[in-house]
Amino acid sequence: MPSSTDHPLPHQANALKVACPCGAVHLHISGEPLAQFYCHCDDCQAAHSAAYVAESVYPASTVLVAQGAPRPHVVRTTPRLSCTSCGTRLFAEIAAGDGLRGVNAYLLPPGAFQPQFHIHCQHAVLPVMDDLPHYRGFPAAFGGTDERVEW
């Protein structure tokens, strides 16, 4: 689990430094995301008390805690880390893809989140009407079937 002993990577042109709203925890993210999407799974719904969550997925080694000590917890199945002061969800350790971290995309600077699709739409609370693909589970590129839902 990451802790305050993690250290930021050396300065990189494409590195992001993000923080929770209260500023107690800072993350250093290097490199480009592997995928950016909206997740409608029942685990994300329970953990975030939201209908769906904006996620930006990176290799775990590129998302480091630069300041603070986030609290690890599991609501249903996915290990997540949150700020101990304000409770903001910072990132999830994605079990389906070992070595991946799903960063809460609402923490990213404006324009950094460019969603590509929706996943786990079989759990959607309500239809989301946009121009992105809506996968019942996962797209084939992430081990799914490419089955889509049509609202």
For the chain, the distance separating the N- and C-terminal CA atoms, rounded to the nearest angstrom, is 39
Is residue 9 in a domain?
no
Give the chain's count of helices (H) and strands (E): 1, 10
How many CA within 13 A on the CB side of residue 123? 18
pLDDT digits (tens, 9 = 90+) for 81-104: 999 999 999 999 986 556 899 999
CA distance 139 to 147: 7
Q: Kindly state the average pLDDT of the residues 54-75.
A: 96
Is residue 124 in a domain?
yes
User: Residue 70: which CATH number?
Assistant: 3.90.1590.10
Q: How confident is the model at residue 147 (pLDDT cuts 50, 70, 90)?
A: very high
Provide the domain count of the chain.
1
Is residue 32 in a domain?
yes
pLDDT digits (tens, 9 = 90+) for 14-40: 799 999 999 999 999 999 999 999 999
Is residue 49 in a domain?
yes
Is residue 126 in a domain?
yes
Is residue 7 in a domain?
no
* Residue-range definition of the domain harbouring residue 78: 16-142
Q: How confident is the model at residue 13 (pLDDT cuts 50, 70, 90)?
A: low
